[in-house]
Amino acid sequence: MAKNRPAEIDVDGVSDETAMGELADAFVAGGRAVVDRVPAVADSAREALADAQEHVNHLSDTGVVAALGFALGVSSGLLLAGAPRLILALSAIPVALTLRSAMTRGVRPARLIN
């Protein structure tokens, strides 16, 4: 049984150079489509973070302390479980939001610990 080497395979009469050129064009077109969507994604992420900060700001002081404790617990649990760094970075977002809200209200660190 004879095997064809990859360089000798001819599919539909298209040469390797033509196929590679079409593949490169497809990658470029896909990349441009992704780049065109980046501003919309950034705007929606910014709006989502602003909405989340607004919801945290409407909590009472005790609610902010509870939310901060929960967010820190989840983040430290993920850290101890060996979660990927991207997941840890994403879990730090609620911690940052609640900590910012607590500090702007004047909640002292002693109240956050006790």
pLDDT in tens, 41-89: 899 999 998 998 899 889 888 888 889 889 999 999 999 999 999 999 9
In the prediction, which pLDDT does 62 show? 85
- The pTM of this model reads 0.60
Asked whether the beta carbons of 79 and 35 are under 8 A apart, the reply is no
In the prediction, which pLDDT does 112 show? 59
Residue 49 makes CB contacts below 8 A (sequence gap 6+) with: 93, 97
Asked whether the beta carbons of 88 and 75 are under 8 A apart, the reply is yes
Of 113, 112, 76, 109, which is closest to residue 91 (Cα–Cα)?
76
Q: What is the mean pLDDT of the chain?
A: 84
Asked whether the beta carbons of 78 and 87 are under 8 A apart, the reply is yes
The residue ranking higher by pLDDT, 107 or 36, is: 36
The residue ranking higher by pLDDT, 7 or 53, is: 53
Q: Give residue 87's identity as a one-letter amino acid code.
A: I
